[in-house]
């Protein structure tokens, strides 16, 4: 359902507080609701002729996890669920979700499979959409026929949790993709996680998530990986002029203790004369999911050889 919401919003973007287009519930939509309810899927009641905006459909999809709203949105977006499922798999591949396969638009099918690492990628991508982040941060919503529907995410607002999506079937167990804002060394840091296959349905998923977040916070620290004016390289010219090449900016990342940091330096050939502060290379830094390119500059000017050196060497 999270991928369904992502695709719908990418195809039909909404600004914050914008309702979007209005869809009218059909008799076929009502039949889908009834059929899915009979299969014990998570659904929200609808009646023929009811009008729902895109925003309301997304609320019903993401808060009470309505499978019938997933079907309505997929049909509206792609003309039907099969075509939409194909696009879900294409988008998953583009995100690098290599262990994910979608067989339906709601995740109820046992053939819809994924792993935590893939779902974290999806969660990070989805939360970049302000409207989606707004919806999953709501505790409830009011729909025309169903009335008040509540967010199944009962961890919302606890321990820094700001969303994003619950899930549960007999085959999958309790599942939760979470985003949380933790305070690390006095600074707010957003983290993402996912738990799958937990016993005791959503209660088990929430318990595992709380344990995960409580264990993660003490292991996170803000680490300076490079500081402005750190000496990265030194040079000495043929005429014995020496100097340093330094980082032009500071970078600090919140990292799990023990995360390896790799650094690679690329330097340009130095000309005979060069002003201080001129870019002469790049420091490439990687740590976990972080990457950065830091410009390297000369700390002092290169003045070039003096007249005597030039005369004696035919320069």
Q: Average pLDDT per run of 10 along the chain, which is 315 residues long?
A: 98 96 98 97 98 98 98 97 98 98 96 97 98 98 98 97 96 97 93 97 97 94 96 94 97 95 96 95 95 97 90 72
- In CATH terms, 2-221 corresponds, of 3.40.710.10, 3.60.20.10, 3.30.460.80, 1.10.4190.10, to 3.40.710.10
- Alpha-carbon distance 42 to 65, whole Å? 6
Q: What's the chain's Rg over C-alpha atoms?
A: 27
Decide: pTM greater than 0.75. yes
Output 192-197 pairs: Cβ under 8 A, ≥24 positions apart: 192/120, 192/123, 192/124, 192/127, 193/116, 193/120, 194/116, 194/117, 194/119, 194/120, 194/123, 195/116, 196/114, 196/115, 196/116, 196/119, 196/172, 197/172, 197/173
Say what the pLDDT of residue 310 is.
Answer: 83
The answer to whether residues 205 and 166 touch, using CB atoms and an 8 Å cutoff, is yes
Delimit the domains of the chain by residue range.
2-221, 227-313
Nearest to 164 by CA among 284, 3, 52: 3
């Amino acid at each position: 359902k999270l991928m369904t919401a992502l695709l719908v919003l990418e195809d039909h973007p909404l600004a914050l507080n914008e309702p979007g287009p209005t869809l009218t519930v059909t008799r076929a939509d009502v039949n889908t609701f009834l059929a899915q309810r009979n299969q014990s899927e998570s659904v929200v009641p609808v009646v023929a002729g009811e009008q729902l905006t895109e925003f309301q459909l997304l609320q019903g999809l993401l808060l009470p996890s309505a499978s019938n709203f997933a079907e309505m949105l997929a049909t509206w977006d792609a003309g039907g669920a099969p075509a939409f499922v194909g696009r879900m798999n294409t988008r998953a591949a583009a995100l690098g979700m290599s262990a994910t396969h979608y067989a339906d638009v709601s995740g109820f099918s046992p053939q819809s499979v994924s792993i935590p690492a893939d779902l974290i990628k999806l969660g990070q991508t989805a939360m970049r959409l302000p409207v989606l982040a707004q919806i999953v941060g709501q505790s409830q919503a009011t729909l025309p026929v169903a009335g008040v529907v509540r967010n199944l995410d009962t961890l919302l607002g606890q321990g820094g949790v700001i969303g994003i999506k619950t899930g549960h079937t007999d085959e999958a167990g309790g599942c939760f993709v979470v985003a949380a804002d933790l305070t690390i060394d006095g600074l707010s840091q957003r983290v993402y996680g996912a738990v799958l296959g937990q016993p005791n349905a959503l209660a088990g998923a929430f318990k595992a998530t709380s344990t995960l977040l409580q264990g993660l916070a003490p292991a996170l620290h803000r680490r300076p990986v490079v500081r402005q004016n750190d000496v990265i390289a030194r040079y000495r010219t043929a005429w014995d002029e020496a100097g340093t090449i330094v980082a032009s900016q500071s970078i600090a990342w919140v990292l799990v203790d023990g995360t390896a940091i790799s650094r690679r330096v690329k330097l340009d050939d130095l000309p005979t004369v060069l002003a201080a502060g001129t870019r002469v290379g790049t420091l490439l830094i990687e740590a976990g999911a972080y990457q950065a390119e830091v410009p390297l500059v000369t700390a002092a000017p290169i003045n070039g050889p003096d007249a005597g050196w030039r005369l004696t060497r035919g320069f």
